[in-house]
Amino acid sequence: LQVELACRDEGLTLNHYIDLSIRIDNVMRSRKPTRPFTTPLQTQPSTASTPEPMQLGTTKLTIEERERRIRNNLCLYCGQAGHIRATCPTRPPRPSTSVSEIRSCLSRCEIPVLLISDGVSIETTALIDSGAGGNFIDKDFVRSNQLPTLSCVSPVSVAALDGRPLGPGRIDHTTIDLILRLEPGHQETIRFFIIPSPQSPIILGFPWLNRHEPTISWAGGIITHWSPYCQQHCIHPVPKTPPSASTPPLDSTIPTEYHDLLEAFSTVKATELPPHRPGDCAIDLIPGAVPPRGRIFPLSQPESEAMEKYIKEELAKGFIQPSTSPASAGFFFVKKKDGALRPCIDYRSLNEVTIKYRYPLPLVPPALEQLRSARVYTKLDLRSAYNLIRIREGDEWKTAFSTTSGHYEYRVMPFGLANSPSYFQAFVNDVFRDMLNRWVIVYIDDILIFSNSYAEHVQHVRAVLQRLIQHKLFAKEEKCQFHQESIAFLGYVISPEGVAMDDAKVKAVRDWPRPKTLKELQRFLG
């Protein structure tokens, strides 16, 4: 085959060489060999073959006999019924190099890649194979690296180019969406079919080549150029210099390692109505309970203005809607530390007749035991956390509240419901299930990321931010802290030296004046 190819035009493209190789191979197979044919490809030693009864092209059938077999649905090889020539059980296999082997020899190159799964980086190699009909990953590689998998909705049949089953012949599982990073700066999200492939951990097949259209040096085994599609969607150059300190950009508090994930801090997207999910907040009432009806609270002039502004904004976002519900709760304001007004709904009567959802909140001290070897910390605070969960469809009327300007109900989970903390904790636990207590601790809307090294920490933070974007959750940039050697979290100060109480939380007790009278002592003891 190599001799035949050497006599052809040298200006042919790779695909032309592949097609030409297949045609030459088919012609060579149809010839009756007069001498042993050798090939540099590794093939199984030939065994002595028995004479074949009617090998087409060697012992020819007469026209009448051929027509008789076709008319009577008989095998063109042995003349028996019940099968065709291609599957004839009496036809011995002929040793020859398969088409897939020829194609693989001509159309493969192996490159180093970085595979990232939930922040964990795995260095390996990928085989670029234009003869592969999909993107594949080795089953043992998936198991040894504990990559999450998904079951196929229906098994996918897979075969080599010559029709032989590939591996078990069908695929039942895929990976989840993984990050595949190639040099220089090429990154994409990709999902692999899982097959036994001990020779190559990862195979990037024709669908990958068709999408990215890279220019490949097959002799050197490197990618020399990426397509315009990749230049626009996949190439992420790393900033070489930090932003100017004199004119800091809006995202200056976010390290440059995460500037391609700024969507996770979007204030605009955080105001969009979230989709319905399996974890929507349900409000199940005790059987026979009467929908509660609260009173309307009088508001001062500043509070009335703040209420009108709040109602207008929430209606515009779609978070609330006008209601005709028989239920009602009171609406009022409480002052924040900075003097701003926080809207509150009096759901105490509703909570009394609500069936409680007993999903547990994390026990913080045991969770902090996971941080013993950590050296780098990042803390994220979710923006409008409860409002990122929808009320279960059909339960919106139970959240109705009354103001001096109208009657409204929530479409998103408000503050004040008895089950709000449990529903939100259940939701974020599902979102970060595979990361919890490995490098992430989540307590309602507070997220702590911890790692043993800086390089590892960057990958962990990126994984969390990507998960936030995927589930339409958003962090509050002004309350986030990145790459800290010591950090305050839920009343504790965490550092490589250990865990201590936050001084700000114990200051009132520590600085309590020494009691001088019995009354002062009683006050101190509570």
- Report yes or no: 378 and 457 within 8 Å, Cβ to Cβ: yes
Q: What is the rounded average pLDDT of the residues 201-214?
A: 87
What pLDDT score was predicted for residue 246?
33
Residue labelled with tokens 């520590």: 510
* DSSP notation for 486-507: SEEETTEEEETTEEEE-HHHHH
In 233-247, which positions are buried (b, 16+ CB within 10 angstroms) versus exposed (e)? ebeeeeeeeeeeeee
What residue has token string 């990928």?
126
Q: Taking 50 as the threshold, does the pLDDT of residue 473 lie above it? A: yes
Interacting residues of 104 by C-beta distance below 8 A, sequence separation 6+: 129, 131
pLDDT of residue 210: 84
250 vs 457, residue with greater confidence: 457
Among the listed ranges 88-102, 347-361, 448-462, which one has the minimum average pLDDT value?
Answer: 88-102
Q: Summarize pLDDT for 53-71 with one digit per residue, the tens.
A: 444 444 567 777 877 887 7
Position 224 scores a pLDDT of 74
> How far does the chain reach from its first CA to its final CA, in angstroms?
94
Q: Examine the domain organization and report whether 340 and 468 are in the same domain.
A: yes
- pLDDT over 50 (residue 450): yes
Q: How confident is the model at residue 351 (pLDDT cuts 50, 70, 90)?
A: very high
Local confidence band at 425 (pLDDT 50, 70, 90 cut-offs) = very high
The confidence score (pLDDT) of residue 505 equals 66
Of the pLDDT bands very low, low, confident and very high (cuts 50, 70, 90), residue 240 is very low
Q: Which residues contact 492 (CB under 8 A, 6 or more apart)?
A: 364, 368, 499, 500, 501, 502
Q: Which CATH number does the domain housing residue 471 bear?
A: 3.30.70.270
Per the CB < 8 A criterion, the answer to whether 98 and 164 are in contact is yes
Identify whether 253 is part of a domain.
no
pLDDT at 101 over 80: no
Q: Which residue has the higher pLDDT, 270 or 31?
A: 270
Provide mean pLDDT across the span 233-261.
59
Is 90 exceeded by the pLDDT of residue 447? yes
* Average pLDDT for the chain: 78
Asked whether 413 and 281 are in contact (CB, 8 A), the reply is: yes
Q: In this structure, are 429 and 318 located in the same domain?
A: yes
Does 132 share its domain with 20? no
DSSP string over 295-349: PPPP--HHHHHHHHHHHHHHHHHTSEEE---S-B-EEEEEE-TTS-EEEEEE-HH
pLDDT, tens digit, for every residue of 139-164? 889 988 888 888 877 777 665 555 55
pLDDT of residue 18: 72
Looking at residue 29, its pLDDT comes to 63
325 and 451 assigned to the same domain:
yes
Residues 142 and 29 in one domain: no
- Burial of residue 331 (CB within 10 Å: 0-12, 13-18, 19+) is buried
pLDDT class of 4 with cuts at 50, 70, 90: low
Residues 29 and 158 placed together within one structural domain of the fold: no
pTM: 0.51
CA atoms of 300 and 312, how far apart (whole Å): 18
How high is the pLDDT of residue 354? 94
Mean pLDDT of 190-210: 87
With 90 as the cut, is the pLDDT of residue 380 above it? yes
320 plus 216 within the same structural domain: no
Please name which of 221, 214, 208, 210 lies closest in space to residue 180, comparing C-alpha atoms: 208
From CA 39, how far away is CA 96, in angstroms rounded?
9
**452 and 340, same structural domain?**
yes
pLDDT over threshold 90, residue 98: no
**Domain assignment of residue 475, yes or no:** yes
Report pLDDT for 225.
77
Q: What is the pLDDT of residue 489?
A: 84
Residue 525: inside a domain, yes or no? no
Average pLDDT over residues 102-108: 48
399 and 498, same domain (yes or no): yes
| Residue 309 and residue 423 in one domain | yes
Nearest to 379 by CA among 460, 313, 281: 460
Could you tell me how many residues make up the chain?
526
Residue 260 pLDDT exceeds 70: yes
Region 405-414: mean pLDDT is 92
Q: Are residue 332 and residue 221 in the same domain, yes or no?
A: no
pLDDT > 80? residue 122: yes
pLDDT > 90: percent of the chain: 21
Instruction: Please give the residue that has the higher pLDDT: either 45 or 477.
Output: 477
Determine the pLDDT at residue 245: 34
**Residue 26's CB: how many other CB atoms inside 10 A?**
10
Domain membership of residue 428 (yes or no) is yes
Q: How many CB atoms lie within 10 A of CB 355?
A: 14
Kindly tell me the burial class for residue 400, based on how many C-beta atoms sit within 10 Å of its own C-beta (0-12, 13-18, 19 or more).
buried
State whether 114 and 8 are in the same domain.
no
More confident call, 73 vs 262:
262
Distance CA 151, CA 132 (A): 21
**pLDDT recorded at residue 17:** 65
Q: Tell me phi and psi for residue 270, to 5 degrees.
A: -70, -15
**CA 373 to each of CA 26, 120, 379, 471, 498: distance values in angstroms, whole numbers, following the listed order:** 63, 17, 17, 30, 9
Q: Which residues contact 444 (CB under 8 A, 6 or more apart)?
A: 361, 385, 421, 424, 425, 428
Of the listed ranges 46-50, 59-63, 126-130, 293-297, the least confidently predicted one is: 46-50
Residue 427 lies in a domain: yes
* Mean pLDDT in residue range 391-420: 92
Point out the domain boundary residue: 233, 252, 287: 233
Domain count, the chain: 3
Positive or negative: CA dihedral 428, 430, 432, 433: positive
Q: Does the pLDDT at position 222 exceed 80?
A: no
Q: Name the band, by pLDDT with cuts 50, 70 and 90, for residue 232.
A: confident
Nearest Cα neighbor of 130 from 22, 222, 18, 12 is 18
User: What is the CATH classification number for the domain harbouring 164?
Assistant: 2.40.70.10
Provide the token pair at 269.
């997207």
Q: What is the pLDDT of residue 47?
A: 45
For residue 402, tell me if it sits in a domain: yes
SS3 sequence, 51-116? CCCCCCCCCCCCHHHHHHHHHCCECCCCCCECCCHHHCCCCCCCCCCCHHHHHHHHCEEEEEEEEE
Query: What is the DSSP annotation of 127-157?
Result: EEETT-SS-EEEHHHHHHTT--EEEEEEEEE
User: Is 476 inside any structural domain?
Assistant: yes
* pLDDT at residue number 43: 41
Residue 15 pLDDT > 80, yes or no? Answer: no
Residue 359 domain flag: yes
pLDDT at 251: 43
419, 415, 440: which is closest to 430 by C-alpha? Answer: 440
Euclidean distance between CA atoms 521 and 274, whole angstroms: 52
431-440 CB burial, b ≥16 within 10 A, e <16: bbeebbeebb
Sequence-distant (≥ 6) Cβ neighbours of residue 443 within 8 angstroms: 361, 362, 364, 367, 425, 490
The residue segments making up the domain with residue 177 are: 108-233
